[in-house]
């Protein structure tokens, strides 16, 4: 009777992949526990030339694939936009400098120590709602540094620094919670990330939050977090869900500014 022997051999054979699996899990867990930055440091070093090469190639391809007429038209449009924005920005600039002077008189400075970072990877290429940027330890970036887009729109913070590369956790990562202030009445609330630059918060209906209200992060120089987009709620209930989003489109961003501590 060879049935028992065959069966036992089959069992051994089917157990082999799981033995490999267990060994793999044990080794990875041990390394990750003893040297937490080992895997990120090694693979980021290997990935760095690929990412930089890919970024240079896509940039070159984009500049080659645009026709002369398109560039001329785009140039004219951009010049018009600059003129319009210049005239609109005059008042804002005056108010900003007056604001800075008043704060300086009271002993508070609003100057930021910024480092420009090129985005190497962003969603949907990267999972988990994170950005990979090309600045790191050499530029003095540290964990927890805030990351801005378009000057004063805060989009996330540095979660990990690996040599010349940093990972930025977007505030909109699902489930992440942050303290915010809504509207001109400075109503405090807690924002919860919903992914893709979207957030939600729940507040009493009687606070009269309106669509278009600005959401900021409490700070000496307010950083814009988003603008209220939608209000959801049943008139019979005392609370409403407020949905808001970053004013910048993360998928079209090319670079960000990191505020060094």
Partner 1 sequence: MSETTRNRIIIDIFLFIAVFIVPWWVMLLIVLGLLFKYTHFYEAFFVGLIIDALYGIPLAMFYNFRFVATLTALVLFIITFYSKKLLTFTR
Q: In the complex, what is the shortest distance from the CB of residue 169 to partner 1, in angstroms, rounded to a whole number?
A: 6
* Nearest residue (CB) to partner 1, 47 versus 223: 47
* Nearest residue (CB) to partner 1, 21 versus 210: 21
Q: In the complex, what is the shortest distance from the CB of residue 123 to partner 1, in angstroms, rounded to a whole number?
A: 9
* Nearest residue (CB) to partner 1, 131 versus 242: 131
* Nearest residue (CB) to partner 1, 124 versus 238: 124
The residues of the shown chain that bind partner 1, judged by CB under 8 A, are 17, 20-21, 24-25, 28, 32, 39-40, 42-44, 46-47, 50-51, 54, 121, 124-128, 130, 132, 159-160, 167, 169, 173-177
**Cα–Cα distance between 208 and 54 in angstroms, integer?**
48
Q: In the complex, what is the shortest distance from the CB of residue 244 to partner 1, in angstroms, rounded to a whole number?
A: 19
Q: In the complex, what is the shortest distance from the CB of residue 256 to partner 1, in angstroms, rounded to a whole number?
A: 16
């Amino acid at each position: 009777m060879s049935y028992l022997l065959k069966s036992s051999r089959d069992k051994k054979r089917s157990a082999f992949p799981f033995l490999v699996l267990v060994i793999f899990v044990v080794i990875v867990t041990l390394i990750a526990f003893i040297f937490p930055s080992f895997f990120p440091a090694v693979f980021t070093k290997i990935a760095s030339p690929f990412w930089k090469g890919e970024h240079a190639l896509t940039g070159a391809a984009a500049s080659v694939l645009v026709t002369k007429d398109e560039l001329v038209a785009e140039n004219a449009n951009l010049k018009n936009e600059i003129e319009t924005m210049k005239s609109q920005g005059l008042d804002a600039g005056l108010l900003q400098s007056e604001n800075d002077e008043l704060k300086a008189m009271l002993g508070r400075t609003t100057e930021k120590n910024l480092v420009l970072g090129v985005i190497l990877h962003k969603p949907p290429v990267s999972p988990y709602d994170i950005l990979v940027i090309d600045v790191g330890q050499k530029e003095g970036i540290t964990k927890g540094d805030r990351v801005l887009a378009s000057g004063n729109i805060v989009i996330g913070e540095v979660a990990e620094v690996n040599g010349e590369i940093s990972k930025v956790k977007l505030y909109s990562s699902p489930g992440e919670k942050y303290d915010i202030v809504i509207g001109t009445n400075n109503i405090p609330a807690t924002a919860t990330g919903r992914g893709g630059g979207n957030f939600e918060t729940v507040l009493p209906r009687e606070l009269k939050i309106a669509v278009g209200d600005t959401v900021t992060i409490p700070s000496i120089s307010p950083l814009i977090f988003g603008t209220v987009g939608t209000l959801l709620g049943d008139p019979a209930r005392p609370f409403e869900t407020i949905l808001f989003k970053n004013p910048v489109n993360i998928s079209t961003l090319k670079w960000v500014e990191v505020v060094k501590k």
